[in-house]
Structure 1
Amino acid sequence: MNWNNSFKKLTTFVVVLSSVLVSCDDEFSTVGSNIIGDVNFNDSSYTAIPKAYSKRFERVQVNNLPNNLLGVYEDTYGTSTYTVLSQMQLGTQNPTFGTNAELDSVVLTIPYFSTETESTTNDEGEVEKKYRLDSLYGTDPVKLSVYQSNYFLSSFETNGSPDDRKVYYADDIKANKTLIEGTLLAEQAVFYPQKDEVILRVKDGDDEGDELDVVRQAPRLRLKLSKEYFKTLILDKEGMPELSNSNNFNNYFRGVYFKVAPINGKGSLLQFNINQADITLYYTYDKEQTTNGETTTVQEDKEFKLNFGNSGIILNGIENDFTEGILVGESVVDGLIDGEDNLFLKGGQGSYGILEFFTGIAKDAEGNEITNGEGEPMTELEYLKEQEWLINEANIKLYINQDKINSGEAEPERVFVFDADTGAVLVDYIADRTNNDNNPVNSRISHLGRITRDTDDKGEYYKIRITQHIINLLNGDTENIKLGISVSQNVNERSIRDASVTPTSPEDQKDIVPSSSLISHEGTVLYGYGENVPDDKQLKLEIFYTAAKTN
């Protein structure tokens, strides 16, 4: 009987069942003996040691990310400063503002990510709400400056094919700072996002008299801008080419730049969706109305919006001041033959880890090379493909080097695994039924386990299950790819971006970075596999399988 073919046919069924049994458990539990019985089969395990090293980025693509970061963040790696440059879009093309239009006010608004925590009704019958700010990191304020940019953001490459989309990198803002820091529109010497709801008193055309209505909004930044400046910039351009279409407007009003600076060397970081932001021009104009045959002129209230993002270009600038000896002054790609003691994972313009499995010669328990029928050494992958194993589970435990990081809340909750050459996710990601689009922190947790913490809330390890990937590899259904490991702010975000790496990186590696890592500011350090790594923390792949007894 051909056990190898029989096992391969059963593999997919058993793995599906076993994944159900182990998906909620932190430790492996065997299933082979429960399914088949222990008369003819044994449960066992195999340990594979990868070649592991880090890949550091000099430049990363930062145009039109899923979310944007603004502020200053400090961790083990050093200090990162995030700025934002965005095109503006006309709320209405070729607008008509009316007769004798006069600006009352101009307000820039950026809503924060927030969650309502309480709702009560006051004595006036008004519903008052309390909020918690989400995606705010740090407790120190920053200096915020808002500029009108003079730097033209193009959608297409000027020197390439007309169809080549323009790629912008994190350091493009720094390189063009003179143009980008154009006209100062607003400034807050001390800025820190507040969780209080915003209370506005506005006119309501349906009300009689001059009583104002109360409008309550979720937490947001509101900055008043110069009426005189925007009258000249926008209202006085009515009917002119500058406001006639998007292309003309993007060349005329080239964008808004949000710049931040630390205060006394400290700051905080805010993640937000700039597509929800706008600049609103509140104005009045003369309107004729007829009552009982008599025509009079009254002042009508109206507003005109300039929207951020949407179909426009948004850049997230990143400037790093990393600590000497972490990613600066320490080669992160030395020792590629045996791998490194540590893997450096840092979001933004940082780094991620590379794992290469089954690249060496197969050896037995005594360290002797395993040969084939012709006496030639077998590769580890060749040896494993010949085994008559039914794979129950394959997982990697990525232990955290607490001696090199600031532990606790600053540790990333999730890591992301992908094909290091193409950016594609693994088959285990696709098959993971724990996906949750509305709650990324608890999504894909069977494949990409959340951080496991000790009693002091320090991170211990991440457990990554790649069972189906290993089954497909040993069955010859997929190639032996390099795996990338990065920090992730949102494991549901699967897109990739361009990047350029350090000159010492292996030349055969394609330069990519996951978007989920780019929008993450956090970093961590994982143990690799080397003589300086504690035995119980060493990086390895464990394959749990069922095999027929040999006697």
Structure 2
Amino acid sequence: MRASFLKIFFFFAVVGFAVSCDKDYNEIGSGIVGEDHFGFEVALMPVLAYNQFYGTVQTSKATTSVVDMPINALGYYNNSVFGKVKASFVTQLELDDPNPTIDLDLDPQIEKVELNIPYFATRTAVDDDGNSLYELDSLQGSSKIKLSVFASGYYLRDFDPSTGFQEVQKYYSDQADDIAGAVIPGRLNNSSQEKQNDQFYFDPAEIVTYTTNDDGLQVVDERRSPEMRLQLRNDYFQEKLFSASAQGKLVTNNVFKEWCRGLYFKVEEAAGSPNQGSLAKMNFKQGTITVTYTEKEDEDSDVRTDPKTLVLNLAGNTVNLFENEYNSNYLSQVTAPDLTNGDSRIWLKGGAGSMAVIKLFPSADNYGYDDDNDYDTPDDPNIPNVLVDVPNNVPDELDELREKNWLINDASLSFFLDEDQMNPDVEKPAYRLYLYDLKNKKRLVDYDFDVTTVSGAPQYNKFVHGGIYIKEKKRYTIRLTNHIRNLVDRAIDSANVELGLVVTESISSTYNTKLKTALPGTDLSGSIDVIPGAATTSQRGVVLYGSNPAVIDEKRLQLKIYYTKKE
């Protein structure tokens, strides 16, 4: 017993050391257990996993939250594995300072309207002149797109009248036609610079503005990280802010949002870039519209004031709109799952895409057991060849595992990239996966227990729980040690629920969002009517080896358990 305790102590000491290290996050989580395994014994248990295509998703306010999706997609991209997607966006506008003092007798006139939305960007270097170089995060593609910004005529309600205004109004990813049919004619971003509209691209360049000092020399006034910066038409905002018709419409944001119904960012293929394009993740909530205007100094004066500003925020209700043309191969794989033996490949796609359903400890029947009803471990010189006995009269491997009364030291699922289906040098795989309790629609206990963080890279927090893509190993590993302990412990009597697996754009976001059409579930999962909202915000995907017995041992999805026999 003392020897087992020392093994366990040493194991968690190493884990604690790994957690405390600020290491290269491309390798985070990849070596916490290590290759030595500290003398622990290991068992590989079967898993059943199959694809589920979920399609149209709610992309407005979340089912379990009153806030909008924190991240949205914008752009057009032709993914060679999953197909084409156009991601457009509609948002309401709010006055930064409601009920501004506006005197029409002073003839307020707009000089400039500028839209600014920062990109997700990482600074990679600083040159000799002090200029920062950036790389845009999660950008797919590098070609140009056609971007049109219109004034929206579609009112986005807060609450659903069909429920007596008791529930939040839901808007879905397939409502592009509804939004487009209500736009006010005339593109707002009609600048003569085509990079702001017909040949738009997500520019990673630092934004530098200059001013003139007292000596008449131009000097740097401000440096900003990369952002979308568009000039919008003055006349539309002159009407909405400074016309006689606008009087009384700016007193509160509720009144203003009925009067000025927001902006519609419409995306199309750019001329000269057919079937290419680019797609980025955006936080529109950080966007602003700065209206610069002047007034007469007094009613009888011809002299105008120095420029003043009025700021509008891209706030209020929003909807992300997806127009998909799925590849036929992808669609055929996710719409005909093998519910008995599991699928040989798992196709995960964000947005209006697909997920996987995972059943731990499925029945031994017809599931790759040998003639002795034993489940063999792979031929790996670093892993002891342990056999898990499953007698004919045991319907569930979990019962047998409980009988053994093992001390569970570590448990994990490893998902291997199928490079034949998805070349990672062409299409970057989703950078992270999220595993959750499908039946109860909540995160796993291992998620809550993991408090690890990565300084400067919050997207890699909870790296012990894992799910991060390890480029060098072409795999993802998710630890669910505490979940397995709860299943094995008879005193806890935890239910062996089915699990859901999706791509995620933000590991910190675990809210749920509604499916337009619920999927039929099982006794273990129940009806699948929501998915994690962070899956809808990502347009990336990945093709993984599944659990079907036809998959080679080294790549097949299996549950790996490190354990110690109690003395």
Tell me the TM-score normalized by structure 1.
0.83
Of 288, 302, 305, the match for 1:299: 305
1:277 to 244, 268, 287: 287
Name the structure 1 match of 2:141.
Answer: 138
Whether 1:539 and 2:549 are equivalent positions in the alignment is no
Looking at structure 1, the residues matched to 157 and 407 of structure 2 have their Cα atoms a distance apart, in angstroms, of 55
Query: How far apart are residue 508 of structure 1 and its match?
Result: 2.9
> 1:261 deviation in Å?
0.9
Contact 1:7 1:390 in 2 (8 A): no
Matching residue's letter, 1:100: D
Does residue 192 (structure 1) correspond to residue 208 (structure 2)? The answer is no
Please give the alpha-carbon distance, in whole angstroms, between the structure 1 residues aligned to 2:107 and 2:119.
36
Q: In structure 2, the residue corresponding to 1:381 is in which secondary structure?
A: helix
User: 1: CA distance between counterparts of 2:486 and 2:520?
Assistant: 33
Q: Distance in 2 between matches of 1:330 and 1:11?
A: 44
| CA drift at 1:432 | 2.1
Aligned to 2:239: 232
Matched, 1:402 2:422: no
In the TM superposition, residue 16 of structure 1 has moved relative to its aligned partner by: 4.8
User: Are residues 1:55 and 2:52 paired?
Assistant: yes
- How far is 1:183 from its partner? 4.1
1:499 corresponds to: 515
Query: Which residue in 1 is equivalent to 2:430?
Result: 412
For residue 475 of structure 1, report the CA deviation from its aligned partner: 0.5
Instruction: Work out which of the residue numbers 69, 87, 104 in structure 2 matches 1:82.
Output: 87
**Compared with structure 1, are the counterparts of its residues 174 and 534 closer, same or farther at alpha carbon in structure 2 (3 Å cutoff)?**
farther
1:422 matches 2:440? yes
| 8 Å CA contact retained: 1:286, 1:300 | no
SS at match of 2:442: coil
Distance 1:527 1:84 in 2: 34
Give the 5 Å matches for 1:374-385: 377-385=394-402
Alignment of 1:296-445 (within 5 A): 299-309=305-315, 312-327=316-331, 329-360=332-363, 366-367=372-373, 377-408=394-425, 410-436=428-454, 438-445=456-463
**How many Å separate the matches in 2 of 1:109 and 1:429?**
35
Check conservation: 2:518, 2:528, Cα contact below 8 A: no
Report SS of the residue matched to 1:521: coil
Taking a change above 3 Å as real, the CA distance of residues 19 and 228 of structure 1, as seen in their structure-2 partners, is closer
- Whether the aligned pair in 2 keeps the contact of 1:417 and 1:448 (CA below 8 Å) is no
**In structure 2, distance between residues paired with 1:142 and 1:236:** 34
| CA displacement, residues 77-105 of structure 1 (integer Å, 9 cap, x when unaligned) | 11111111000001222222342212212
- Give 1:323 shift: 0.5
Point out where structure 2 has 5 or more consecutive residues left out of the alignment.
19-28, 61-67, 191-196, 375-388
Q: Which amino acid aligns with 1:542?
A: K
Q: How much does 1:317 deviate?
A: 0.9
| Partner AA of 2:278 in structure 1 | S
Partner SS, residue 418 of structure 2: coil
Contact 2:398 2:488 in 1 (8 A): yes
Once superposed, what is the RMSD of the aligned Cα atoms? 3.6
CA change 1:54–1:105 in 2 (3 A) is: same
Identify the range of structure 1 (393-402 vs 106-115) with the bigger mean alpha-carbon deviation.
Answer: 106-115
Instruction: Return the letter of the residue paired with 1:233.
Output: K
On the 8 A contact 1:8/1:475 being kept in 2, the answer is: no
> CA 1:14–1:352 in 2, change beyond 3 Å: closer, same or farther?
farther
**Percent identity over the alignment?**
28
AA of the residue aligned to 2:417: I
For 1:298 and 1:82, locate their aligned partners in 2 and report how far apart those are by CA, in whole Å: 43
Change (3 A) 1:389 1:197: closer
CA pair 467-210 structure 1, distance change in 2 beyond 3 A? closer
1:319-340: CA deviations, max 9, x gaps? 111100212x445453212211
Instruction: State the secondary structure of the residue aligned to 2:102.
Output: coil
Aligned to 1:243: 250
CA 47–134 in structure 1, closer or farther in 2 if over 3 Å, else same: closer
Which of 252, 257, 264 is matched with 2:259 structurally?
252
CA contact (8 A) 1:84 1:257 kept: yes
C-alpha separation in 2, matches of 1:11 and 1:385: 22
- Say which one has the larger Rg: 1
Aligned in 2, Cα 1:378/1:14: closer, same or farther, shift over 3 Å?
Answer: farther
Q: Secondary structure at the match of 1:511?
A: strand
Q: 1:462 to 1:72 in 2, by over 3 A?
A: same
CA offset digits 1:499-545 (Å, max 9, x no partner): 24576765933222222222221111111122431232111112121
Looking at structure 2, the residues matched to 229 and 297 of structure 1 have their Cα atoms a distance apart, in angstroms, of 25
Tell me what 2:536 maps to: 518
Q: 1:7 to 1:175 in 2, by over 3 A?
A: farther
Superposed CA deviations along residues 403-456 of structure 1, whole A, max 9, x for unmatched, are: 2113236112221111112332222222224233741343222221432334xx
1:483 paired residue number: 499
1:406 alignment partner AA: N
Distance verdict in 2 for CA 1:61–1:10, change over 3 Å:
farther
> Secondary structure at 1:189's aligned position in 2?
coil
Instruction: Report the Cα distance in structure 2 between the residues aligned to 1:213 and 1:411, rounded to whole angstroms.
Output: 39
Structure 1 residues 128, 413: CA separation in 2 closer, same or farther (over 3 Å shift)?
closer
- Secondary structure of the equivalent of 1:242? coil
Deviations 1:18-70 (A, max 9, x none): 75488634645444x6xxxxxxxxx5332221121112112112122111211
Q: Kindly indicate which of the two structures has a greater share of residues assigned to strand.
A: 1
Secondary structure of the structure 2 residue equivalent to 1:147: strand
Q: How does 1:156-195 map to 2 (within 5 A)?
A: 156-180=159-183, 182-187=185-190, 188-195=197-204
- In the alignment, which residue of structure 2 is the partner of 1:461? 475
Whether the 8 Å contact between 1:94 and 1:243 is mirrored in structure 2 is yes
CA contact (8 A) 1:69 1:83 kept: yes
Deviation at 1:199, TM superposition (A): 4.2
2:75 alignment partner, one of 71, 74, 83: 71
Q: 1:159 Cα deviation (Å)? A: 0.8
Residue pair 2:446, 2:479 contacting (<8 A) in 1 also: yes
Change (3 A) 1:548 1:249: closer
Cα distance between partner residues in 1 of 2:246 and 2:219: 33
Q: Residues 465 and 228 of structure 1: is their aligned pair in 2 closer, same or farther, counting only changes over 3 Å?
A: closer
Classify 1:110/1:386 alpha carbon distance in 2 versus 1 (closer, same or farther; 3 Å).
same
CA distance 1:543–1:149, shift in 2 (3 Å): same
1:287 counterpart = 2:297: yes
- Structure 2 counterpart SS, 1:435: coil
Secondary structure at the counterpart of residue 182 of structure 2: helix
User: What code does the residue aligned with 1:495 have?
Assistant: Y
Matched with 1:40 is none
Rounded Cα–Cα distance in structure 1 between residues aligned with 2:171 and 2:4: 47
Q: Is the 8 A contact 1:82 1:316 kept in 2?
A: yes
Find the aligned partners of 2:476 and 2:358 in 1 and give their Cα distance: 15
SS of the residue corresponding to residue 468 of structure 2 reads coil
Q: d(CA) in 1 for partners of 2:52 and 2:338?
A: 13
SS at match of 1:221: strand
How far does residue 397 in structure 1 lie from its aligned partner after superposition? 1.4
Amino acid at match of 1:271: K
Of the structure 1 ranges 49-58 and 527-536, higher mean CA displacement relative to structure 2 is found in: 527-536
